[in-house]
């Protein structure tokens, strides 16, 4: 999660702000242009950090939005008069946000390497569009003859032609962008955006439509980049397709990482460091002719050294030492369990094939409320596939999944989650960088998972959900611990707390006891028994002692089929089950 | 009609060159897990090496024979110096370090060879054209170029599909940890794969030099287009890279004739369509 700058970093930022404020007093016209450029570039990299550092989406086409903003100012500027500055910058923001939505619509379908490449290609596509055609002067670029200005009541308020005024406008907009993005990161929307980086699968299982969140983050970031582009066009009054080039995108990424991604202020340091480095290495009077004439060699080498030696970026140097709390042992909470949107879960002839393999083969079962239903079976029986079909992580090849009688087969995972189906994963699936409380808060937020949630309007309600969930699983006294640092067993408990906080009435738990010691196992069994009233629990588990201790019904899968279903006692005596587990060969009725 | 025939040949030629560059890129990403932005620079350095080596030895094929082993050694050195530190790092840092490498290679190119486009002579014995139809000739060198590309492609497929080393490469592509757990030294394997990728890209640059000459920024175009090929074909898939390259080559060749101003937009549009239909590329794992 986005942290406030540490004490040391705040001092540094204060000095930096003072320096920027005073800069016009002691630099000449060339110097002023240089710092203006620096400030505008900082705005660009801060916008990129929102996407790259906070949401974890590596956009390699960010220069596209920068360029679109610049060209928007060109297009709204009349031939021989100044455009209204508000209109010009508004156009820059609107145009780049629109382009970001269009590119994001494709890019957000992909992830990882593909996301990087799609954004890169999209940037190049816009580059060639402006470079190869005659739009706005083609590859030669075009001049904005008269820079935008703002007039009100007959007198000029702002004139972008005045270098000093324009510089302060840029500086104010940089500060505003940083503040706005920081505030946005702390809204419920921002919390989900930051969780994207940590764990998309978990978000989806909680009921968030991650595509929409990614797209919204992309558009916000693109809009701010467009603002920077619009300002950039006003520095020289000149736009060129080079603004879109992937070198610009690469430089922006470089500045973000150099400064420290995910801090929002770090990239400003990165921009400052990179641009100063470049200027220093270019000036022969400082470094000598030989170095200055080969400045790119020096820049490249310094960057490599910086990245390899300091993965955390410059901001990492200013980060305060992490405070570690003494862990307190977890206790099982005794909070009363209120009734929630519980539901019945059933399947009808559910089938999933992988090529010729029928991993789940015509399974018809039903799970009622207030019961623990265990699903057992030998390895390869199709248990995990079955779980994935229930939660929507996989689409069924045939058959129905019924939640409260409604067929949800083929729905995306987040929509099924919204109907009250929560699931835990075989490998614990939480947001390691978040605190325990923030993990649960995110889950509580999933009760109203719309994208446009900027106000903390349901804070009180969410607090109740979070406290309740943490009390139930026994983590109430460790709310501020970082989730990635607690024990494996506690992470499992946290995952269950998240399911409770998200309001799921149906809890699907995939091997919650895997890798647990006897003490932790005992604790989770107690937890399951405590959750049984008002929940429908579906438990996939290998630990037979635990299963027989908590389960009200048992369903036995083998080779994708149900070979037995009933109370633990009935199943224990079933011949097919004994054959499947003890005989080591396929039970009667199942295919070889 | 003859225009279409010529464009098909041009498209195939461009596609085959692209394949040499893109196959290295896809293997490096698929096996080493490294996004190598500097891959285009190796193509560029190949083209300039062709300039120097043909000036010295007088023949582009001698330049190829000398340049490819040199490129292999150069690739191994780059892997040892920079790339091996990136295997366990995230994509961002890989992007940064390889981006910084581009800066350095560009500087080296400018220092050594200057800023102007340089043409590389076609060997005199291949400078004629053969007539395809009564009124249409096609340069013999381009046909020789395509033949060599096809031979190199076949050689690479053979190594990957039929040899013990190739089996190891394929295994590492699908599960690098397991290959290491079985006791193979992945460091050597990675170095060879990276160096081979560099050698292939340089070979493409050398072969292309007499056709498109050597100029600054030549690597950028190849890099971006190669990435498009990798995305279309699917990461790590040689087959995908092959089909993707030819597809891009043909689309580009015909785009240049029919919609000259939008030819480069066209290949990105093609990529967008492929991604919508198959988000992991034509031959990528879903």
Asked whether the beta carbons of residue B107 and residue A300 sit closer than 8 angstroms, the reply is yes
Mutate to test the interface with A, among B272, B273, B285 (most CBs of A within 10 A): B272
Sort residue A240 into left (φ over 0), alpha (ψ -120 to 50) or beta. beta
Asked whether the beta carbons of residue B268 and residue A132 sit closer than 8 angstroms, the reply is no
The predicted model scores a pTM of: 0.77
Residue A585 has pLDDT above 60, yes or no: no
What is the arithmetic mean of pLDDT over A533-555?
Answer: 85
Task: Give the one of B99, B111, B224 whose C-beta lies nearest to A124's C-beta.
Answer: B224
pLDDT band at A314; cut points 50, 70, 90: low
Nearest-angstrom CA–CA distance, A279 and A273: 10
- Per-residue model confidence as pLDDT tens digits over B95-134: 888 988 998 999 899 889 888 888 888 888 887 888 777 7
Asked whether the beta carbons of residue A113 and residue B95 sit closer than 8 angstroms, the reply is no
Mutate to test the interface with A, among B224, B267, B273, B286 (most CBs of A within 10 A): B224
| Residue reference for tokens 């199709």 | A382
Do the Cβ atoms of A491 and A483 come closer than 8 Å? yes
Contacts of B114 in chain A (CB under 8 A): none
Asked whether the beta carbons of residue A307 and residue B93 sit closer than 8 angstroms, the reply is yes
Task: Give the one of B37, B107, B220 whose C-beta lies nearest to A294's C-beta.
Answer: B107
Q: What angle do CA B60, B61, B67 make, to 5 degrees?
A: 85
- Per-residue model confidence as pLDDT tens digits over B54-101: 888 888 888 999 999 999 999 999 999 989 888 878 788 888 889 889
Pairing of β A561-566 and β A553-558 = antiparallel
Based on C-alpha coordinates, what's the Rg of chain A?
29
Nearest-angstrom CA–CA distance, B131 and B42: 34
The least confident of A303-312, A374-383, A502-511, B27-36 is A303-312
Calculate how close chain B gets to A19, using CA atoms only, in Å: 29
Asked whether the beta carbons of residue B261 and residue A114 sit closer than 8 angstroms, the reply is no
pLDDT band at A322; cut points 50, 70, 90: very low
Q: Cα dihedral angle (A240, A246, A250, A252), rounded to 10 degrees?
A: 40
Asked whether the beta carbons of residue A117 and residue B104 sit closer than 8 angstroms, the reply is no
Query: Taking an 8 Å Cβ-Cβ cutoff, which residues of chain B contact chain A?
Result: 29, 35, 37, 82, 85, 89, 91-93, 95-97, 99-104, 106-108, 111, 220, 224, 227-228, 230-231, 235, 260-265, 268-269, 271-272, 275-276, 279-281
Calculate how close chain B gets to A121, using CA atoms only, in Å: 6
Calculate how close chain A gets to B148, using CA atoms only, in Å: 30
Question: Per 3-state DSSP, what percentage of chain B is helix, strand, and coil (rounded to 5)?
Answer: 80, 5, 20
Task: Give the one of A120, A257, A308 whose C-beta lies nearest to B92's C-beta.
Answer: A257
This complex has an ipTM of 0.83
- Per-residue model confidence as pLDDT tens digits over A135-156: 887 777 788 777 777 766 666 6
pLDDT band at A333; cut points 50, 70, 90: very low
Mutate to test the interface with A, among B27, B41, B100, B229 (most CBs of A within 10 A): B100
Contacts of B96 in chain A (CB under 8 A): 253-254, 257-258, 303, 307
Note whether A41 contacts B: Cβ–Cβ < 8 A: no
- Per-residue model confidence as pLDDT tens digits over B17-53: 999 999 989 888 888 888 899 999 999 999 999 999 9
Assigned token pair, A453: 């949630």
Which pLDDT belongs to residue A511? Answer: 84
Contacts of A254 in chain B (CB under 8 A): 96, 99-100
What is the arithmetic mean of pLDDT over A218-231?
Answer: 94
Question: Per 3-state DSSP, what percentage of chain A is helix, strand, and coil (rounded to 5)?
Answer: 55, 15, 30
Q: Please, what are the domains in chain B? A: 2-277 (1.10.3470)
CB under 8 Å to A552, separation ≥6 — which residues? A371, A372, A373, A567
| Residue reference for tokens 């889950």 | A443
Task: Give the one of B95, B108, B265 whose C-beta lies nearest to A253's C-beta.
Answer: B95
Q: A346 has which bridge partners?
A: A366, A402
């Amino acid at each position: 999660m986005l942290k406030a700058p540490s004490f040391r970093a705040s001092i540094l930022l204060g000095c930096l702000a003072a320096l920027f404020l005073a800069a016009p007093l002691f630099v000449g016209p060339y110097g002023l242009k240089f710092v203006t450029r620096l400030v505008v570039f900082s705005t660009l990299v801060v916008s990129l950090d929102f996407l790259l550092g906070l949401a974890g989406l590596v956009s390699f086409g960010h220069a596209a939005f920068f360029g679109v903003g610049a060209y928007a100012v060109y297009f709204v500027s009349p031939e021989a008069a100044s455009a209204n500055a508000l209109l010009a910058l508004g156009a820059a923001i609107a145009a780049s946000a629109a382009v970001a939505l269009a590119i994001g619509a494709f890019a957000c379908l992909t992830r990882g390497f593909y996301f990087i490449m799609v954004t890169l290609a999209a940037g190049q596509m816009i580059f060639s569009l402006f470079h190869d055609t005659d739009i706005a002067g083609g590859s030669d670029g075009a001049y904005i003859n008269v820079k935008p200005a703002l007039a009100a009541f007959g007198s000029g308020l702002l004139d972008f032609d005045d270098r000093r005024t324009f510089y302060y406008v840029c500086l104010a907009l940089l500060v505003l962008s940083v503040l706005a993005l920081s505030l946005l990161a702390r809204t419920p929307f921002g919390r989900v955006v930051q969780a994207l980086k940590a764990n998309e699968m978990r978000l989806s299982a909680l009921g968030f439509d991650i595509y929409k969140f990614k797209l919204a983050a992309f558009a916000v970031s693109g809009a701010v980049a467009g603002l920077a582009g619009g300002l950039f066009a006003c520095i020289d009054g000149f736009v060129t397709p080079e603004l879109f080039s992937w070198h610009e995108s690469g430089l922006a990424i470089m500045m973000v990482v150099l400064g420290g991604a995910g801090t929002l202020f770090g990239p400003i340091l990165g921009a400052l460091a990179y641009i100063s480095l470049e200027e220093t290495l270019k000036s022969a009077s400082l470094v000598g002719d030989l170095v200055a004439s080969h400045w790119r060699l020096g820049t490249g080498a310094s960057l490599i050294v910086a990245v390899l030696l300091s993965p955390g970026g410059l901001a990492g140097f200013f980060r305060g030492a992490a405070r570690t709390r003494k862990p307190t042992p977890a206790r099982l909470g005794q909070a009363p369990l209120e009734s929630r949107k519980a539901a019945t879960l059933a399947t009808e002839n559910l089938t999933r094939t992988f090529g010729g393999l029928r991993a789940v083969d015509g399974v018809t079962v039903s799970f009622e409320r207030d019961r623990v239903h265990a699903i057992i079976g030998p390895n390869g029986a199709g248990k995990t596939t079955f779980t994935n079909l229930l939660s929507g992580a996989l689409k069924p090849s045939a058959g129905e999944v019924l939640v409260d009688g409604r067929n949800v087969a083929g729905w995306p995972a987040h929509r099924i989650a919204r109907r009250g189906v929560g699931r835990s994963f075989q490998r614990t699936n939480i947001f390691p960088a978040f605190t325990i409380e923030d993990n649960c808060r995110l889950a509580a937020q999933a009760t109203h998972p719309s994208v446009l949630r900027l106000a903390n309007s349901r804070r009180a309600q969410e607090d109740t959900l979070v406290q309740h969930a943490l009390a139930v699983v026994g983590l109430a006294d460790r709310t501020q611990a970082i989730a990635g640092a607690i024990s494996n067993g506690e992470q499992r408990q946290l995952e269950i707390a998240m399911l409770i906080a998200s309001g799921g009435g149906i809890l699907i738990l995939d091997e919650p006891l895997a890798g647990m010691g006897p003490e932790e196992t005992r604790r989770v069994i107690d937890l399951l028994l405590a959750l049984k009233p008002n929940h429908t629990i579906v438990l996939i588990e290998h630990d037979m002692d635990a299963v027989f201790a908590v389960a009200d019904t048992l369903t036995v899968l083998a080779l994708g089929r149900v070979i037995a279903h009933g109370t633990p006692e009935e199943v224990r005596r079933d011949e097919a089950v004994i054959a499947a587990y003890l005989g080591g060969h396929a039970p009667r009725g199942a295919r070889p | 009609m003859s225009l279409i025939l010529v464009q098909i040949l041009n498209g195939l030629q461009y596609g085959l060159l692209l394949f040499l560059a893109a196959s290295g890129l896809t293997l490096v990403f698929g096996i080493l897990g490294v996004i190598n932005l500097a891959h285009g620079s190796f193509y560029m350095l190949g083209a300039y090496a062709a300039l120097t080596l043909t000036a010295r030895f007088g023949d582009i094929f001698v330049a190829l024979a000398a340049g490819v082993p040199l490129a292999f050694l150069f690739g191994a050195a780059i892997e040892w110096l920079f790339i091996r530190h990136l295997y366990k790092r995230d994509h961002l840092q890989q992007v940064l370090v390889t981006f910084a490498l581009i800066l350095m290679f560009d500087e080296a190119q400018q220092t050594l060879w200057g800023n102007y486009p340089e043409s590389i002579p076609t060997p005199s014995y291949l400078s004629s054209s053969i007539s395809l139809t009564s009124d249409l000739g096609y340069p013999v060198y381009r046909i020789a170029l395509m033949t060599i590309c096809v031979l190199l492609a076949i050689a690479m497929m053979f190594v990957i599909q039929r040899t013990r080393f190739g089996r190891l490469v394929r295994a590492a592509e699908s599960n690098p940890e397991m290959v290491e757990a079985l006791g193979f030294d992945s460091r050597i394997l990675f170095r060879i794969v990276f160096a081979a990728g560099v050698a292939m890209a340089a070979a493409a640059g050398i072969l292309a030099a007499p056709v498109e000459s050597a100029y600054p920024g030549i690597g950028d175009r190849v890099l971006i287009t190669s990435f498009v090929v990798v995305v279309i074909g699917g990461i790590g898939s040689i087959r995908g890279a092959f089909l993707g390259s030819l597809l891009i080559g043909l689309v580009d060749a015909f785009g240049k004739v029919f919609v000259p101003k939008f030819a480069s937009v066209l290949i990105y549009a093609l990529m967008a369509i492929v991604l919508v239909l198959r988000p992991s590329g034509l031959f990528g794992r879903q």
